[in-house]
């Protein structure tokens, strides 16, 4: 797989190039091959599915089992454009597809769907075997450099030097801008912009944040040295987004050297990031005791404690100690601890100021990309006939939990079907011969 295949000087008329060997590109390749096209998949990495394999390192989250309406709601402002793709290939279809590869699935306690053995590698191996059996050719270490002067000419830097491939029909599945070392580096953005394709700036999504305190950026040295790497469990975060909508999520997250990260933070990362872009910071409220109402907390904080210290009192009455107690001391002024009402309010709604999203390359995924307004209903670029886009390079985002992978696969399949239709219309003779 690591040795590149050289392309013939005059490829068949029905040969279609897919650039990007992640889930979206592989799905497009599968649809194309099943439709009778000859498919060449190009990728800059030495092997296929690097980010896919990393995502599955702790257990591959294929999709989610929740009802379709809330599932679609996870795509926010882009739901209207993602919904038709998921109607054609949604969570149940993705599970059935995995079963067709011999990979069983199960629903975890959180509603997330995983392969039976939790691993990504067996699924990828079975998938690649089926693609090769269908005639798909893989060309690794081929980094796309954009177009040559002719719109159908694709430039690559390959092990043997720069090569130009003629491909009147091309599927781009180049990924977003996170995890550059795995291939998603966003290097494609200027080439599409030069072609007149509207691309929204790539931004971190499902990301951590740096914090700021009244005393300055980041945690104090005392707090950082004691609690960096510690998880906060059974808490809730809430934020009012730029449209004035109150959002709340329960879960857990982790204290980092400079801020916060983890599943609960990722769930609210999009509205928090957008607030930072608009106003320079975002304030989220941290509920340290989501299972207790405000009246209960107020009563327990105000309860006489006798000779016990306040720390002992909070631990014995409310179970607040360790990193939770540390956060209270980190974020509240000293005088607040002498006011039971103020302290109780902080336990239920501790303001946490987020100063900046962590760099794009650290994010699990990215927002921004090729705007849907630049595409027709078949995900073909309006300014570049015969060029189709799929996956994370499109302008959408979703939380973790299987939503990212499901939409990437659905958009890849949509791009594959649209490319087949385009090729058939452009070259019906070649298409019939291939079929």
- Residue that has been written with the tokens 């340290």 in this structure: 288
Q: Which residues contact 259 (CB under 8 A, 6 or more apart)?
A: 208, 209, 210, 211, 218, 219, 354, 355, 358
Report whether 205 contacts 364 (CB < 8 A).
Answer: yes
- Residue that has been written with the tokens 């290097």 in this structure: 187
Give me the helices (H) in 18-141, please: 23-34, 50-55, 68-73, 79-88, 91-100, 121-133
Q: Which residues is 338 bridged to in the sheet?
A: none
- Which pLDDT belongs to residue 149? 83
- Residue extents of the structural domains in the chain: 15-204+366-434, 209-357
Which secondary structure element, helix H or strand E, spans residue 410, and what is its range? Answer: helix 403-426
Pick the CATH number of 15-204+366-434 from 3.50.50.60, 3.90.120.10, 3.30.1330.10, 3.90.1150.10: 3.50.50.60
Give 185: exposed, middle or buried? Use CB within 10 Å, 0-12, 13-18, 19+. Answer: buried
- Residue that has been written with the tokens 């299987």 in this structure: 402
Q: Which of 191, 174, 235 minimizes the C-alpha distance to 408?
A: 174
Distance between first and last Cα of the chain: 27
- Which pLDDT belongs to residue 10? 37
- Three-state SS string across 413-434, please? HHHHHHHHHHHHHHCHHHHHHH
Chain-centroid distance, C-alpha 65: 18
Token pair in block for residue 140: 């690794």
- Which pLDDT belongs to residue 434? 38
Report whether 153 contacts 170 (CB < 8 A).
Answer: no
- Which pLDDT belongs to residue 206? 96
- Which pLDDT belongs to residue 431? 41
- Which pLDDT belongs to residue 4? 37
Q: Mean pLDDT, 10 residues at a time, over the chain (435 residues)?
A: 38 79 98 96 96 87 96 94 97 98 95 95 96 97 92 92 94 94 92 95 97 90 96 96 93 96 95 95 97 96 91 94 96 94 97 97 95 95 95 96 96 97 73 39
Separation between Cα atoms, residue 348 and residue 387, nearest integer Å: 52
Q: What is the pTM of this model?
A: 0.89
Chain-centroid distance, C-alpha 132: 28
């Amino acid at each position: 797989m690591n040795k590149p295949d050289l392309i013939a000087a005059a490829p068949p008329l029905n040969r279609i190039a897919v650039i990007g060997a992640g889930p979206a590109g592989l799905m497009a390749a599968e649809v194309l091959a099943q439709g009778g096209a000859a498919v060449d998949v190009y990728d800059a990495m030495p092997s296929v599915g690097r980010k896919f394999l990393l995502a599955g390192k702790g257990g591959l989250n294929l999709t989610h089992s929740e009802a379709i309406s809330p599932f679609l709601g996870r795509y926010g402002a882009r739901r209207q454009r993602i919904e038709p793709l998921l109607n054609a290939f949604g969570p149940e279809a993705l599970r059935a597809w995995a079963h067709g590869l011999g990979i069983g699935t199960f629903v975890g306690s959180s509603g997330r769907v995983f392969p039976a053995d939790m691993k990504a590698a067996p699924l990828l191996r079975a998938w690649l075997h089926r693609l090769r059996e269908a005639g798909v050719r893989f060309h690794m270490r081929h980094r796309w450099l954009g177009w040559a002067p002719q719109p159908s000419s694709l430039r690559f830097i390959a092990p043997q030097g720069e090569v130009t491939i003629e491909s009147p029909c091309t599927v781009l599945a180049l990924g977003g801008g996170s995890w550059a070392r795995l291939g998603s580096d966003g290097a494609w953005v200027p080439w599409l912009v030069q072609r007149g394709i509207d691309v929204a700036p790539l931004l971190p999504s499902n990301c951590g944040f740096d914090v700021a305190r009244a005393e300055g950026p980041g945690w104090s040295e005392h707090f950082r040295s004691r609690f960096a790497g510690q998880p906060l469990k059974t808490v809730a975060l809430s934020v009012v987004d730029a449209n004035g909508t109150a959002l709340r999520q329960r879960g857990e997250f982790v204290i980092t050297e400079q801020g916060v990260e983890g599943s609960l933070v990722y769930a609210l990362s999009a509205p928090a990031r957008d607030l930072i872009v608009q106003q320079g910071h975002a304030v989220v409220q941290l509920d340290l005791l989501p299972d207790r109402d405000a009246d209960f907390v107020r009563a327990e904080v105000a309860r006489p404690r006798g000779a016990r210290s306040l720390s002992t009192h909070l631990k014995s009455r409310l179970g607040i100690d360790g990193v939770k107690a540390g956060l209270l001391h980190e974020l509240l002024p000293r005088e607040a601890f002498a006011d039971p009402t103020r302290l109780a309010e902080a336990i239920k709604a501790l303001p946490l100021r987020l100063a900046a999203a962590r760099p794009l390359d650290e994010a699990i995924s990215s927002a921004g990309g090729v705007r849907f307004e630049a595409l027709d209903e078949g995900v073909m670029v309006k300014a570049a006939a015969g060029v189709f886009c799929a996956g994370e390079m499109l302008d959408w985002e979703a939380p973790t939990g299987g939503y990212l992978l499901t939409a990437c696969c659905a958009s890849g399949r949509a791009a594959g079907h649209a490319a087949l239709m385009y090729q058939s219309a452009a070259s019906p003779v070649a298409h019939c011969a291939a079929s």
